[in-house]
Amino acid sequence: MRPSDEEILNRWLAAEEDGRDDAAETALAALFEALPPVAPPAEFADRVLARAGLAVPVPRRRSVFAARWLRAVAMLPLLIIGLSLPWLSEVLQSLASFASALWSPGDLVRLGTGSLIAISQALVAVLALWDWLLRIGRTLAAPFATPAVALIMTGCLLVSLVAFHFLRNLMTRDRSWTHVESV
């Protein structure tokens, strides 16, 4: 504490000791005003809330373009494109003439309709297979819908439960930590 702060502290303690409440309150207020302002560190409240489980901590994301060399690498293609703009129309014309030599508009229409027909035929084949599988499933499930078959299935379930119970009892009764009985 600075000397003036000690003087204010002594004044407050003396006023409290003597019972002078008004003087003690003013000395205490002066003491608090003399304290340096304390600010919590950055993200203090976020850490407290995260530790209390009331807030989900947000992970810090670092910018992709924070590094100068990465910015330069990103700007290089833009610079190349900007410098090549005077020749762009000639390049596009040569590409268009090359593409028209390979494919005519009729070829493109023929290719589009052929692919549409192939996709439609594949879809019809898949749907026909699905319908066939559904018919097999319905045929196999039909007998199980009758009361007689349901009664037989319930009986089989009960027999298997009783067999499982006896098998479990046989296995747990003869269990031991040794594999061979002593002689």
Note whether residue 15 is domain-resident.
yes
| pLDDT band at 176; cut points 50, 70, 90 | low
Instruction: Domain of residue 46: give its range.
Output: 3-52
> Does residue 149 contact residue 157 with C-beta atoms inside 8 Å?
no
pLDDT in tens, 104-114: 778 888 989 99
Note whether residue 114 is domain-resident.
no
Report percent pLDDT > 90 for the chain: 25
pTM over 0.85: no
Taking residues 144-170, what's their average pLDDT? 92
Number of domains present in the structure of the chain? 1
| pLDDT band at 133; cut points 50, 70, 90 | very high
Q: What is the DSSP letter of 42?
A: T
> Does residue 1 contact residue 34 with C-beta atoms inside 8 Å?
no
What would the two tokens of residue 82 be? Answer: 């900007």
pLDDT value at 142 more than 80: yes
Note whether residue 31 is domain-resident.
yes
> Does residue 27 contact residue 11 with C-beta atoms inside 8 Å?
yes
CA distances for 165 relative to 64, 77, 146, angstroms: 64, 75, 29
Dihedral over alpha carbons 75, 79, 85, 88 (to 10 degrees): -70
Note whether residue 112 is domain-resident.
no
Note whether residue 171 is domain-resident.
no
What would the two tokens of residue 160 be? Answer: 């298997």
Note whether residue 87 is domain-resident.
no
Note whether residue 66 is domain-resident.
no
Note whether residue 10 is domain-resident.
yes
With 0-12 CB in 10 A as exposed, 13-18 as middle and 19+ as buried, what is 12? buried
The one-letter amino acid code at 28 reads L
| pLDDT band at 182; cut points 50, 70, 90 | low
